[in-house]
Structure formats: structure tokens, C-alpha cells
Amino acid sequence: MLSCMTAALTIAFVPGVSPAKWARVWRDRFPSVELLLRPIGQSEVDETLAGDADMVFARLPVAESHNAIPLWTETAVVATPKDSALAKASELTTADLADVHVIDAGPVPADVSGALDLVEANVGVVVLPQSLFRKASRKDLIARPLTDAEGTRVALVWREQDASDLTAEFIGVVRGRTANSSRSQPDQPGGPDRAADDGSRPSRGGSKADAGNKPGSGGKAGTVGGKAKAKSPGGGKSGGGKNSNTGKGPTPGRGKMRGKPSRGSKGNR
């Protein structure tokens, strides 16, 4: 069982990433451990992890010092007015945008709402993740897949010093581990974290988080061409539903998870 001294786990998430499915699984599996959810801005990942959040669902790249497990790749789309010439095509390539004013080429506009306002005003088009376009819900605009764009990758991110039995269990939930399976058993690809209608694509795997989402970036994540540590929990015998109370859960890439100081959760400080 998880330590009774641990009262809560705080999970933050950037726009366009809904934690609802994982939250339902967590609350069903660990009803005595409160799950606190917090929406944050795209640029607030570092600040949030330095605060009282234990983990964050964020888009890569992230700071090289963070641990990151890539989960899925979002489809890049072109937002355009419904009556535009581009809207007549079922999908687009960057060549189709050669003679069009691109307000923001993405992968994630700094001001999504403001950029889409300009698209509605027929100023140009915007490239962004499909999930963000759907979240904006602009009835006068339509999105067309940009087939030769890499898309953005969503990852579960945390700091090494915030690793705990709780974060290990949450990783298991996100990666589709069942309540009765051991942490040492293989995770189910994708798990309950991907909705088919989110326009997302499964992560291509690998143990490292992808970096910038531009061709030729080398596929490594980091603040400037670096790479995020994409580690998955190693061995260990505490199960997802029958967890050991020894405080020795696995830590990504190091074999054993170091427990958090004092009460084990930022939510209790």
C-alpha cells in the first residue's frame, strides 16, 4: 500500500492535453490518494515543476535536466477560413503554403487565440497541433493536416528530486499498466492516455524524448538541441495495485526510486 502519510499527487498539464482519462483510472485505483490537477501555460513547465507540482504533461522539447517519457505525437494542422482555397483540399503540404501568408508556422503559436483571430480576419493561416485547434472551437475556421510536418510530441515530465512511489504509480497508469501487474512487466503501448479523436499519432518509441519538432533537429529534446531524459521505471516488485510499503519503488533508469523528502508529496507541503 502507498504510505498513509502521502495525501496528494499534483499533476499539471498544458493546453490541449486532457488528463481526464488518467484521472479516472487513478481515482478508481487509489481512492485514498487525492489527485490534484492544474492547467498551466505552454511556457510554465519549469516554473510549475519548481513549485508544488509533482509531474507535468508537456510538449517537447523540455529542459535537459528533466525526466521525460514521450507518449504520443500530435498531428500538425493548418488553420484556415472555411471559404479559403486551402480548405478545399483534404490535406496540405508546406509547398501549398508557399504563396500564402503564414501568421505563425508553429509548431505551437505563442498566442493561439490571437493567431486564430487573425486567421478569422483573413490575414493568413496558422500551423498548430490539432488538439489546440479543436480546443479553440472556431466555427468559421477549418483545419487541414500538414502531412510533411513532424508534429508535436507530448510527454510526461518530472524532476529527479520529485520521484516517489506515487510518481512511479502514476507513470504506470499513464502507460496502461493494470492494477494487478508488476512494475517490472512491460507496459501496454499507449495505455489509456490517447484518444483516437485527438488527431494524435502513437509515439514511435525509444527511450529518449524527441527534441524540437522540426525536420533535421536530430530527434533529441533539450532547451537548445539537448536531450530530455526519457526514462521508464525499471525493475522492482511492488505491483500497480498491490504496492510495497517499503518506499523502494523503482526510479527511471536507476533501478530504484528515491522517496521524496519528508511526507513524500509536494501536495503536503
Nearest-angstrom CA–CA distance, 99 and 108: 21
- H helices present in the chain, as ranges: 20-29, 45-50, 112-120, 130-136, 165-174
Amino acid 203 reads S
Strand partners, 129: 76
Backbone dihedral region of 122: left (phi > 0), alpha (psi from -120 to 50 degrees) or beta? left
Q: pLDDT tens digits, residue range 47-73?
A: 999 999 999 999 999 999 999 999 999
Identity of residue 258:
R
- Supply the pLDDT for residue 58: 97
DSSP H helix total and E strand total for the chain: 5, 10
Euclidean distance between CA atoms 233 and 249, whole angstroms: 9
Note whether 131 and 17 are within 8 A (CB).
yes
Each residue's pLDDT tens digit, 219-261 = 433 333 333 444 444 443 334 444 434 443 333 333 333 333 3
d(CA 116, CA 12): 25
**What gap in Å lies between CA 53 and CA 4, rounded to an integer?**
19
Low-confidence ranges of the chain (pLDDT < 50): 4, 182, 184-186, 188-199, 202-264, 269
